[in-house]
Structure 1
Amino acid sequence: MTLEILFVTGDGAYYPSIDACTGYLENMGYRCRRTALEDVDFAQDLSRTVIWQIMGFFPRPLPPGRAAVIHEFRSRSVGRFGVAKDIGKRFLLPKPDYRLFQTGYLEKTFNRRDTVPFGILGLGVPEYLDPRAGRAEALFDFGYVGQISDERKTPDMLDAFIAKYGHGRSLCMIGPVRDGIDSRYASQTNIRFLGKLPQRDALETVRRCKIGLCYFPYHMPHAMQPPTKLYEYAAMGMRIWANDSPGNVQAIREFGINAYVSKRFAFPDFEVLEAQPDNSAFDPGVLHWKSIIDRSGIVEFLRAVERTVPAPRGMA
C-alpha cells in the first residue's frame, strides 16, 4: 500500500495544478483524491496520508499522525483585508513539512525563511500542445482565453480594441462571462462570446485565430502572476499581443516568448502584429506539466516521506 495524497481546498475554485499533479502522481502509483477542508476527518488514521493543502488563511493546528503536510500557495489574497490575510498566512500558519509556491514572487511573499524545504510549482500547459502542429485556416483575427469580468478589466481591453479596429477585425472571447459583459457588447457583431469551453476545445478554437490576446490586470494579486494563456499561446506557436503587466513581462523574458508588448491597451495596426515573429520555434517542453512538477522537488520529497512512514498493519 502506497501513500495517499489528499488535496485539500477551502473553496470550489478550479486548480489546474491539482489535475496535473493527480495524473502525474497516480502514474507513479500514488493514490490521489480531492476534498474540501470541512470534509476532512482528522480523526481517521492519516499515517500514510499526505495532506496537500491549497492555502487560504487556515491557522488550525496540523493533524497529528499524518505522514506529511504540504502547503501550496497559488495566489495572494484579494478583498479589503487581503494584506492582513497575507501577513497571517506568512506568520500564523503552522509549519508544514514542505511548501510550494506558484512563483518566486509568492515565495518571497509567504516563505518564512525557516527550515521547511520548498519548491516552485509554476503554471504549466498540457503536453499535447505543440507549436509544430499544422495551422488550420483562421476563423478569427484575434482570440482570447480566460475569465471575462469587470474585476479583470475586460471592458477596458474591449473598448481599446473597438477604438482601434472598430468592426474591421474579428475577436472571439472564450471563457466564463460575468457582469453581463456579453450583453453590453451585443451590438459589436465582430466580437463573439463563446462562453466556457472544455480545455481542448478552447485551445483548438484559439489556435485558429491569427493573434492571441494576453491581457492581464495591473492590480494585485494579478499584476505579479503570469497568465496561463500566455504559455498556452506560445506552446501552440501563435503570434501574441500582450499588455505590459509585470507578470506578462517577466514570463516573456524568462521563457523567451515572442510577443508584441503594448503599454496598457495600445493596440497597433493589425499589419504590425501580422509582421511580428510567431512562436513556431518555441520549445514548449519547459512549460509542460511534467517538467514543472519535476523541477518543484515534490517527487523527491514524497519518496523520502514514503521511506519513513510505517507499513500498514499486517504488512510489517
Structure 2
Amino acid sequence: MKSLCFVHQSKAQLPELQAYAEYFRKQYHVVINTPDANLHGYDIVWFFMGYFRYQPMPHQFIVHEYASLSTPPFAWLKDQLKQRLNIKPNLRVFQNQHQSELLNFNDGIAVRFRDMGLSSQFVYQENVDKKCDLIYVGAMDKSRQLEKALDVVLKLRPHASIWLVGQPAAYLQHRYQNYANIRFVGVVPNSQIPTLLNQAKFGLNYVPNVYPYQFQTSTKLLEYAACGLPVIGNRTSWLNSFINTYPLQYHDLNQLMAWPQATPTVLSDAVRESWSWQSRIGNANFETILPS
C-alpha cells in the first residue's frame, strides 16, 4: 500500500483534512504532518499551500492544494510569490475554476477542483431551545471587517444576543468589551459547532466583498444552512450565484429595515449529500491521476 502524507502549517482550520484522511485510508497509508517533518519516505506528499521550499525525491508525487487565495494585506502580491517561488508539483487542487484562473499558473500542470463540504454532524435539530439571536462562526481577523456587520445588527436590534465562535482579534474584543449581549465563545472543536448553531435563531454570514473573499465558498453558510438556520449577511458574487442555486432564507444586511422573523429552512437529503465531504472529494476524481 502506497503512503500519502498531508502537510500543513497549522495556521488555518482545515476541516477537509480529516475528511481527506477518512476518504483515502481505503487506498493509502495516510499520515498528517507539518513541514518540518522528514517527508522523503512518502509516495505522495500533499501540501496545503503556502509556500514550501521542499525538494521532492524522484519517486514522489507532489500535490499543491490551494484551499484559499491569499488574504489581505498584499493578497495579490502574495499570490504572485506563490506562483513564482513554489516548485512545480504533479497536481494542483483548487476550490473552483475561478480561483484557478485568478492564480493563473498556465504551465500545463494537471488540475482538480474540490469545493468546500460538510461533515455529517451538521444537521437540523428540532425542538432545541434557542439561546441566542445570532451566531457567527469563522475567522475574525481584521481583514474580515466583522465590525461592519455587527454595528449594523446592533443598530437594528441593540440588545440582540450574539455569539462569536472562533479566535477573536484583540481590536474586536476591545471594541465590544462593554456589550453584555455579545459573547466571545472562542475556538471550539468542530464537533461542537452544530450544537451551538442549533441553539441560535439566525446565522451571521459576513464576507468582505473584496479579493479574495468574494470568489470563495463560504463554509459557514453551508454549515448554517445544514442546521436549518435562516441567515443574515451581505452579498458577494459567490453568494449571489449560490442562493440562485439553493434558495435559502437569506436577509441582506444592507437592506434590512427591521429584525426579520426566524423560519427554519430544512435542506433536502439530496442537497445535504451533495455537500458532504465524501461527495466533494469523490467528485474531484483524484483517483484518475494519483498513483495507486
Q: 1:293 to 1:160 in 2, by over 3 A?
A: same
TM-score, structure 1 normalization: 0.82
2:258 maps to which residue?
Answer: 269
Cα pair distance change 1:164/1:223, threshold 3 Å: same
One-letter amino acid matched to 1:8: V
Deviation at 1:164, TM superposition (A): 1.0
- Shift of the 197–80 alpha-carbon distance from structure 1 to 2, 3 Å rule, reads closer
> Match for residue 245 of structure 1?
236
Determine whether 1:181 maps to 2:142: no
Q: Is the 8 A contact 1:216 1:248 kept in 2?
A: no
Q: Structure 1 counterpart of 2:275, which letter?
A: L
After superposition, give the CA deviation of every residue in 1:115-169 in whole Å (9 maximum; x if it has no partner).
43221111111023234x42412111222111233321111111111111112x3
The equivalent position to 2:273 in structure 1, one of 274, 285, 297, is 285
What are the residue-to-residue correspondences of 1:107-122 with 2, within 5 Å? 107-122=100-115
User: In structure 2, what is the equivalent of residue 313 of structure 1?
Assistant: none
Code of the aligned partner of 1:274: A
Distance across 1 between alignment mates of 2:157 and 2:72: 35
Distance 1:108 1:4 in 2: 31
Q: Deviations over 1:230-274 (max 9, x none)?
A: 0001111221122112332233334x14032426x444422x343
CA contact (8 A) 2:20 2:281 kept: yes
Q: How many residue pairs are counted as aligned between the two chains?
A: 291
Question: What residue is the counterpart of 2:68 in the other structure?
Answer: 75
Do 1:150 and 1:179's aligned partners in 2 also have CA atoms closer than 8 Å?
A: no
Kept in 1, the 8 Å contact 2:63–2:93? The answer is yes
TM-score of the superposition, structure 2-length normalised?
Answer: 0.88
Corresponding position: 1:206 with 2:197: yes
Identical counterparts, % of pairs = 24
Equivalent residue, structure 1, for 2:36: 38
Matches within 5 A, 1:76-91: 76-79=69-72, 81-91=74-84
Q: Retained in 1: the 8 A contact 2:75–2:211?
A: no
Of 184, 204, 228, 2:219 maps to: 228
The DSSP-based 3-state class of the residue aligned with 2:289 is helix
Residue 273 to residue 113, structure 1, CA distance change in 2 (3 Å): farther
The alpha-carbon distance between structure 1 residues 297 and 194, as it changes in their structure 2 partners (threshold 3 A), is same
- The answer as to whether partners of 1:142 and 1:172 remain within 8 angstroms in 2 is yes
CA distance in structure 1 between the aligned counterparts of 2:74 and 2:173, rounded to whole angstroms: 31
Q: Deviations over 1:50-107 (max 9, x none)?
A: 011112234x574132331111112222355432332343355433222110122211
Larger Rg over CA atoms: 1
Residue 12 (structure 1) aligns with: 11
Q: Conserved in 2, the CA contact under 8 Å of 1:238 and 1:280?
A: no
Q: Which amino acid aligns with 1:22?
A: A
* Residue pair 1:125, 1:288 contacting (<8 A) in 2 also: yes
Please tell me whether residue 258 in structure 1 is matched to residue 217 in structure 2: no
Please state whether the residue corresponding to 2:222 is helix, strand or coil.
helix
Gaps of at least 5 residues in structure 1 are 307-316
Could you give the per-residue CA deviations for residues 157-188 of structure 1, whole angstroms, max 9, x where no partner exists?
A: 11111111112x32222111112423432322
Cα distance in 2 between the residues matched to 1:66 and 1:12: 29
AA at the equivalent of 2:58: G
Q: Equivalents in 2 of 1:124, 1:162: separation in Å?
A: 31
| SS of 1:72 mapped into structure 2 | strand
**Does the 8 Å CA contact 1:234/1:257 hold for their aligned counterparts?**
no
Structure 1 residues 243 and 96: alpha-carbon distance in aligned structure 2, compared to 1, 3 A threshold: same
**2:95 aligned residue (93, 96, 102):** 102
Q: Letter of the 2:283 partner, please give it.
A: R
The residue type paired with residue 269 of structure 1 is A
The separation in 1 between residues aligned to 2:54 and 2:33, in whole angstroms, is 18
Segments of structure 2 that go 5 or more residues without pairing to the other structure are none
1:64 is aligned to 2:57:
yes
